[in-house]
Amino acid sequence: MSTVTHPGPGDTTTVAPAGSAKPRPIAEFLSTYVFSKDHKVIGLQFLFSTLVWFLIGGLLALAVRWQVAWPWSDVPVLGKLFAQEGGQMSPEFYTMLFTMHATVMIFLVIIPILAGAFGNFLIPLMIGADDMAFPTLNMLSYWFMWPAFLAFGASFFVEGGAASSGWTSYPPLTTNPAASPGSGMGQTLWLIGLTFVGVSSMLGSVNYMTTIILMRAPGMTMFRLPMTIWAMFITALLQAFALPVLTAAGFMQLFDRSIGTGFFSPEGSIINNEMTGAGGGQPLLWQHLFWFYSHPAVYIMILPAMGMVSDIMTCFARKPLFGYRPMIYSVAGIAGLGFIVWGHHMFISGMNPALGMTFMVSTMMIALPSAVKTFNWLGTLWGGRIQFTTAMLFSISFVSMFIIGGLSGIFMAATPVDIFIHDTYFIVAHFHYVLFAGTAMGVWAGIYFWFPKMFGRTMNEFWGKVHFFLTFIFLNGTFFTMHILGAVGFPRRLADAYHYETFHHLQPMNAFMTYCAIGMVACQVIFAANFFWSMFYGPRAGRNPWNANGLEWTAPSPPGHGNFDVQPIVYRGPYEYSVPGCEKDHLMQTDPPLETAVAAAH
Amino acid sequence: MGCGQGRLVAPTPDREAAETLRVALSSEDASSDDGAGAAASTGTGWGTLTGRFVFVGTPPAAKQLIVDKDTAVCTAEGRKLFDQSLQVDESTGGLANVVVFARKVSRVKEREIAEEPLVFDQKVCEFLTPVFAARVGQPIDVRNSDPIGHNTNVSGTSFNQLIPAGEGTLFTPSRETGMPTMVTCNIHPWMKAYAVFREDGYVAVSSADGSFTLPDLPAGEEVELQVWHERSTGPNGALGADMPAYDWSSKGRFTVTLEADQTTNIGDIEIPASALGG
Amino acid sequence: MNLPSATACKNNQPTTTAPRLSLACLGVCCLLPILAGCGQTPAATFRPNMVESAKQRLQPEQEQQVATILEAMFGTPDNPVVLPETGLDIAKLRLAAGPVHSDIVGRKNGLFREHCSHCHGVTGDGMGPTAAFLNPYPRDYRPGWFKFKSTERADKPTHADLVTILNNGIYGTSMPSFELLGETKVDALVEYVKYLSMRGEAELSLMRYYFELDDEDEGKLPETRDFLIEEILLPVAERWQEAEDAVIEVPEMPEVDLTESIAMGKELFYGNKANCVKCHGVTALGDGQANDYDDWNKVVKQWSAELQSAHETSTSDMTSEERSEHRAWLAKSDRVLAGDALDPRTIQPRNLRQAIYRGGRRPLDLYYRIHAGINGAPMPAAAGTLSPDEIWHIVNYIRSLPYEFDGELGADRSMVARDRL
Amino acid sequence: MRNRLAGLFWSLLFLAVPVLGVAVFAVAPSIDVWLPKDVSAHGKEIDSLFYFILALTGVVFIVTEMLLFWFIWKYDVAARGEEKATYIHGSHTLEVIWTIIPAVVMLFLAIYQMNAWADVKMRRPVMKPTVEVVARQFEWRLRYPGPDEELGTPDDLFLVNDLHVPVDEDVLVQLKSMDVLHSFFLPNLRIKQDAVPGMKIPVWFKATETGQYDLVCAELCGWGHYKMKGRITIESREDFDAWLEQKYREQEATQPNPQEDML
């Protein structure tokens, strides 16, 4: 790799190179902030775009919750769309809401914010590279998100509204435009959007793998990489192997819809009282193809968060990561097993029950690595000097919540029990504990932790903790109750379940959950305010505000173009905290070997 | 999302007015003045009204109808079917199939309803009488002189009947139609005719030469008549004409006062092509 | 950077930044409920029959008069009113009308908007938000035509007929079964459908009456009891009340061997007398007549044709204000056609081999269909043409069709979809 | 100079997780937000499995969450004074232990359940279908084979949404879909099976108690998904036969039904 030798810009530098902007300021601005090939700028572009979609997704969720809690009542603001009906939303509008909530959260928030935002920003910094292996590819990976943004965004305004067949997009509901209002133009746009997200992720993952393999700083062996990088690396592998299947399946569905192929449509059904045309297909085929990507995707959506949490925890426990290699092996294990468990989404789908048994076994096995990781995190906390920074609180809550999400998974893995709780609020609780209480918490931890590196200033700790506290309370209020709703068998995706005798008494509980959800979204205002206020007025951060060990902390905050002012040389792993015989409680990866350090101290 | 975007803003009811009106309506002993306001009957005699409709200008060529069923019968040996909505007499320019009926009369002459049924026939997939008038209560023999089956559907009435080949069915209209109502055959969707039924039987259809005759109308007082043509661009097919003498309105109405036992001829009524959407 | 922010830069301890931020957050947090508050939408309203209004070229003030009269006679979606002449039960209506909510008794109200309005529309005009995506379109009650009933073609259905429809649903359409709601609720809904239908018919005759007015009325309907009750309301209401005793007499099925009866039915089906084959096709797959419309769609179809020719007619011999009036009317009509009517669809004769009978599968139901025809649909009446026995033969034949496989179908076997029976 | 309060506050917050978590599950049954009444023969198995896993995960949940709480309580920097954090990179033995134990438990779980799974989905009773359920947007169309016990013959009985089955007998449902995916969900019989167009999927159960329960659609099937409400009535053989008899008579009616006119 090229050794970086240009003069270090020092603490005060911003991302923009000083001066030289005179002749063509616009072009300069564009190339620096918009079509930049600098991994940090691209990372931030990902971060900001995804945070905007995070807000949209949250608001969609509120609308969904409103209908679930008070079906057919006048919806605030949205009700205007249904003035003739006195403001009550129509059922197909509701199905559109939850479909797009999931779609936005998964494809436009979680996946891109982890790989796109943090992956881009952190990988070169943490491995001591001056940039990604393929900067242009990297830029493209961001700009390929825009067609997706536009497709998903536009689909709300087309005839019939956006896709409304659930984020899993099961045919024949999706392949036959007559089957549901959202299966018209909206579904086509959905598939197009999905394809572009795929392309973007693919470009990203290729880039990450190459960078991590080829551009590590001298001395940075694979087993000196921070967990974040390991997680990103495995994630990239998952993406690279699973994505093509989804893309292919997406095109097959597109063909079924547009040119009348019949991959997923069976012979002779009557949909919306019309005989269907093409036939001979098999709806289950889509489910297999879809989950072959989407189950690994579940890990794509959590592994990077696990990595980041591991790094943040060690830093604020001032203690080496407990079981570094086991952690890596379990990540790899999750990735490996992740490819042979997709069938557990299909236990009652009509798939051969014998197949269900095998998938049950593999699914039970994939619980192991997760358990190992959890125990290791506990081990990391044990005997540490825990500092309750906001980032640390979010990390701890990640572990605490991940335990819940992980354990509830075992219920679904057990096929007989799954017969009852499949497609009930139990599963809704499960994946919200993993994805929101897990990943989202990890993401916040990451933001609070690396914010100084991103903007050269630290976020406000007091309001950070307020934000954590409220979010933590409200999220449990919202999602924990879902478990017992699921125990009643309360099905997901019903616009109004209360006309079933079995469920009509659950309305008050749903109302409570909706209040919590409103609170949860509302308190993100604190985060937004803190985020933008600190960007400009936060206290200036030095290079290493948390006294952490990673390479990124040897670079200026924010790092200039090319990241490091001196080429970092790595002497040790990233978790050398509280090393005996060394009076400062952390040894950075670049610090010269211990003997010399001690000698220097004398 | 089907929320009716871009819909016209509908007028909102006047709440107070509605309230007061509701009270008025729910009170049983509301003033029951005969709002119908039939003109006070003065005269005693009876007169006859005649006239003639003349088409001004050259009539457009009739459209050919698309015949896609029973062609063996309907379009045997290359026969073509044409749209009959505008029938003009080449020599005299008389406009046929114009309906004239009394809209307001103070008296109705006692005439017993004819027993023998009027014949409404269909042959080679056409209604032989494209416009057809009858008195309420007068039996109509709906025939089918074709070797194939038809059904006759008089919209707005209870009558939509199968008419087997060569057979007929009796139909006795029980309600007035107001303006003429459409008669169709659903088996052969191109078949179309119009029927008008009146309580008082004061109704006439202009003949091939455009002339019509309405006998036994009350004389010595104003009689208001309504004129209709299938092609008319006026509201509900009302046929307007430029005849100030009878203050002929755009709603296709005119008034005359007849002499007892006389035939009053209002002469030629000129109908411009534009009035018939041509 | 400007001065205030520069000072902000200096005092950046949490303690001092806290109040500043808390204000900001407080502000936004209070803003949310306010936003929700102002989000409340006005109460639901009945949509006027804009198509008829445009056809009759009503002026805005006339449209308003109709709306006012209707509100006087029928009230609003949230608060229905009935005059004794309608013979409707206000208690039932209250159960069905209004927004979805539970009253003090804990009983669910607003049934119509909970179960029906998103397809049939709050007005019962078959134009709810979901309507456009359904095939066939949801029923528009306003013309007062109902297809599946035990009465003669032009008569109204009996209460029981509508109850049966709600209980069984209409197989072959998007109308599901509501049997599980229980008798009281179904009863209330039926009453409400009658109410909407009467209202719609009253509206139609009101709008049409403007044409009947004399010049001295200055285009204003008389708001007298005689006119509104005698002329408008009673003619509609009475026909609903008459329906109960207008049920078709059904003679017993003839005492002939079923196979014989079926054979005779088949003869009639293909013969020139009953002529079923003309529309239902030689295969009985409903492929005989593809280019006809039912009356609901016909209204729109014909009117859009009229509009088309109106667009084409030359405005040369019009005075300037006539022309502008004409143009205004055309503009309005086009918007009405786009916003207040669904694109007309052709009606397909029933495929008789799928064992899907929209009006019910009982021999009795089929007898009614053939005897009286289907109101609003092209299906003609056979009574008078065919003897009751002959009708029964056809009924038996039709009921045997889904199970008849004598190769007549040829390549169309798949259409039978026997497995789906 | 940090004070202890922060540490106490946060560790108590995380202590609330196991405490309240357990509390919710403890209270749920008493407020009737819990597994609905089970009236099926195989349901016991499923429920006991559910409780078994609940107990198992419950223990793990409590232990891990308590440890978490204990560590952040004990090792709060404010409580540690000048003492350094323990410098340890892990423990091979521990790793082995907490890999083996869960592995064994999980494997046990997996194998332990296979029998129950096989009972519900694999050991199909040898019999002709009691009833055929055809799901469509948005209702359950039912077809009983009639006296000849053959589906697709003129004596079939057609019904909608109102499923009746005999008690204490094996019931074999032939599940089909006319248009899109649906899911045949009987909460009280612990039955759920997707209906897939183009497939005939057998579903069987044995009801142990008479009564009326909900039939729910549990797979998104379009805008009217929530509308797909059905009802299952479990009744004695006699009542069931009588009901079939009566329904068939209604279906074959050639004269108006007197009850209707009463309405």
CATH number where C352 lies: 1.10.760.10
Q: A97 and A231, same structural domain?
A: yes
Which of D59, D86, D96 is best to mutate for the A interface (most A CBs within 10 A)?
A: D86
Does any domain span residue C17?
no
Residue B77, pLDDT score: 81
- Nearest-CA distance D256 → chain C (Å): 7
Mean pLDDT of all residues in chain B?
Answer: 86
* Cross-chain Cβ contact D214/A356 below 8 Å: no
Cβ–Cβ contacts within 10 Å for residue B30, how many? 15
Q: Is the pLDDT of residue A7 over 80?
A: no
Q: A506 and A575, same structural domain?
A: no
Of A79, A87, A530, which is closest to C21 when you measure between CB atoms?
A530
CA distance readout (Å), A501 to A66, A505, C130: 21, 8, 26
Q: Which residues on A lie below 8 Å from D193 (Cβ)? A: 348, 350
Does any domain span residue C315?
yes
| Homologous superfamily of domain range D131-252 | Cupredoxins -  blue copper proteins (2.60.40.420)
* Cross-chain Cβ contact A96/B3 below 8 Å: no
Does any domain span residue A561?
yes
- Final residue in a domain of this structure, among C271, C305, C339: C339
Q: What is the pLDDT of residues A474-519, one digit of tens each?
A: 999 999 999 999 999 999 999 999 999 999 899 999 999 999 999 9
Q: Which residues on B lie below 8 Å from C386 (Cβ)? A: 162
Q: What is the pLDDT of residues A185-226, one digit of tens each?
A: 999 999 999 999 999 999 999 999 999 999 999 999 999 999
**Whole domain around residue C197: which residue ranges?**
50-243
* Cross-chain Cβ contact C133/D253 below 8 Å: no
Neighbours of chain B (3+ CB pairs under 8 A): A, C
* Cross-chain Cβ contact A90/C118 below 8 Å: yes
Q: Average pLDDT in the A397-416 region?
A: 95
Q: A204 and A104, same structural domain?
A: yes
DSSP code of A33? Answer: I
Of D158, D161, D224, which is closest to C180 when you measure between CB atoms?
D161
Q: A431 and A498, same structural domain?
A: yes
Mean pLDDT of all residues in chain C?
Answer: 85
Q: Average pLDDT in the C387-396 region?
A: 95
Residue B183, pLDDT score: 93
Quick check: B10 contacting A, CB < 8 Å? no
Q: C200 and C142, same structural domain?
A: yes
Of A103, A71, A39, A577, the residue nearest A310 (C-alpha): A577
Q: Which of A319-323, B40-44, B241-245, D238-242 has the lowest mean pLDDT?
A: B40-44
Backbone angles phi, psi at D138, to 5 degrees: -135, 75
Which of A85, A460, A502, A523 is best to mutate for the C interface (most C CBs within 10 A)?
A: A85
Residue B42, pLDDT score: 60
Quick check: D116 contacting A, CB < 8 Å? yes
Q: A293 and A163, same structural domain?
A: yes
Q: Which residues on B lie below 8 Å from C321 (Cβ)? A: none
Q: C232 and C94, same structural domain?
A: yes
Does any domain span residue A131?
yes
- Nearest-CA distance C84 → chain B (Å): 8
Of A85, A463, A537, which is closest to C113 when you measure between CB atoms?
A85
Q: What is the pLDDT of residues C276-292, one digit of tens each?
A: 998 998 888 888 888 88
pTM: 0.91
A599: pLDDT confidence band, cut at 50, 70 and 90?
Answer: low
- Residue in this structure with the two tokens 């100079």, named with its chain if needed: D1
Of D176, D253, D263, which is closest to C364 when you measure between CB atoms?
D253
C415: pLDDT confidence band, cut at 50, 70 and 90?
Answer: very low
- Final residue in a domain of this structure, among A539, A564, A586: A539
Of B13, B187, B236, which is closest to C279 when you measure between CB atoms?
B187
Mean pLDDT of all residues in chain A?
Answer: 91
Q: A93 and A176, same structural domain?
A: yes
Residue B58, pLDDT score: 85
Q: C371 and C411, same structural domain?
A: yes
Does any domain span residue C207?
yes
Of B276, B154, B172, the residue nearest B227 (C-alpha): B276
Q: Which residues on D lie below 8 Å from A500 (Cβ)? A: 214, 216, 229
Which 3 state secondary structure label does DSSP give B170? strand
* Cross-chain Cβ contact B3/A181 below 8 Å: no
Residue A596, pLDDT score: 58
Percent of chain B with pLDDT over 90: 32
Q: Is the pLDDT of residue B235 over 90?
A: no
* Cross-chain Cβ contact C50/B164 below 8 Å: no
Quick check: B2 contacting A, CB < 8 Å? yes
Q: A183 and A223, same structural domain?
A: yes
Q: C192 and C55, same structural domain?
A: yes
- Judged by 3 or more CB pairs under 8 A, whether D touches B is no
Q: A220 and A159, same structural domain?
A: yes
Paired tokens of B230: 């299938």
- Nearest-CA distance D12 → chain A (Å): 12
* Cross-chain Cβ contact B1/A90 below 8 Å: yes
Of C52, C80, C244, C43, the residue nearest C162 (C-alpha): C244
Q: Is the pLDDT of residue C410 over 50?
A: no
Q: How many structural domains is chain C composed of?
A: 3
Q: Is the pLDDT of residue D87 over 60?
A: yes
Cα gap A167→A190, rounded to integer Å: 9
- Residue in this structure with the two tokens 């079933």, named with its chain if needed: A500
Q: How many structural domains is chain A composed of?
A: 3
Helical packing angle, A390-413 and A353-381, nearest 10°:
150
* Cross-chain Cβ contact C176/D224 below 8 Å: yes
- Final residue in a domain of this structure, among C305, C339, C373: C339
A135: pLDDT confidence band, cut at 50, 70 and 90?
Answer: very high
The complex scores an ipTM of 0.90
Q: Is the pLDDT of residue C419 over 50?
A: no
Q: A477 and A590, same structural domain?
A: no
Residue B278, pLDDT score: 58
B29: pLDDT confidence band, cut at 50, 70 and 90?
Answer: low
Q: C269 and C326, same structural domain?
A: no
Q: A598 and A530, same structural domain?
A: no
**Whole domain around residue A192: which residue ranges?**
41-266+285-301
Which of D32, D45, D64 is best to mutate for the A interface (most A CBs within 10 A)?
A: D64
Percent of chain B with pLDDT over 70: 92
Q: Which residues on C lie below 8 Å from B22 (Cβ)? A: 71-73, 81
- Nearest-CA distance D18 → chain C (Å): 30
* Domains of chain D by residue range: 4-80, 131-252
Q: What is the pLDDT of residues B160-180, one digit of tens each?
A: 888 988 888 899 998 888 899
A595: pLDDT confidence band, cut at 50, 70 and 90?
Answer: low
Q: Is the pLDDT of residue C212 over 50?
A: yes
> Which chain C residue shows the shortest CA-CA distance from A519?
C29
Q: What is the pLDDT of residues A347-369, one digit of tens each?
A: 999 999 999 999 999 999 999 99
Q: A558 and A477, same structural domain?
A: no
Residue B139, pLDDT score: 92
Residue C40, pLDDT score: 66
Quick check: B3 contacting A, CB < 8 Å? yes
- Final residue in a domain of this structure, among A539, A558, A589: A539
CATH class, range B115-207: mainly beta
- Nearest-CA distance A470 → chain D (Å): 11
- Nearest-CA distance A174 → chain B (Å): 17
Q: Average pLDDT in the C166-177 region?
A: 94
Q: What is the pLDDT of residues C62-95, one digit of tens each?
A: 999 999 999 999 999 999 999 998 999 999 999 9
Q: Is the pLDDT of residue A442 over 70?
A: yes
Of C215, C229, C380, which is closest to B151 when you measure between CB atoms?
C380
Q: What is the pLDDT of residues C237-280, one digit of tens each?
A: 999 999 988 899 999 999 999 999 999 999 999 988 888 998 99
- Judged by 3 or more CB pairs under 8 A, whether A touches B is yes
Q: C300 and C227, same structural domain?
A: no
Q: A597 and A522, same structural domain?
A: no
Residue C18, pLDDT score: 42
| Candidate ranges A271-280, C406-415, D50-59; pick with highest mean pLDDT | D50-59
| Radius of gyration in angstroms for the set of CA atoms belonging to chain C, rounded to a whole number | 28
Helices (H) and strands (E) in chain C, counts: 18, 2
**Residue A253, strand partner residues:** none
Write the DSSP string, chain D: ---HHHHHHHHHHHHHHHHHHHHHHHHGGGGT-SSPPP-BTTHHHHHHHHHHHHHHHHHHHHHHHHHHHHHHHHTBHHHHTTPPPP-----HHHHHHHHHHHHHHHHHHHHHHHHHHHHHHT---SS--SEEEEEETTEEEEEE-TTTT-TTSTT-EEEESEEEEETTSEEEEEEEESSS-EEEEEGGGTEEEEE-TT--EEEEEEB-S-EEEEEEE-S--STTGGG--EEEEEE-HHHHHHHHHHHHHHHT-SS--HHHHH-
Q: What is the pLDDT of residues B54-68, one digit of tens each?
A: 998 888 888 888 888
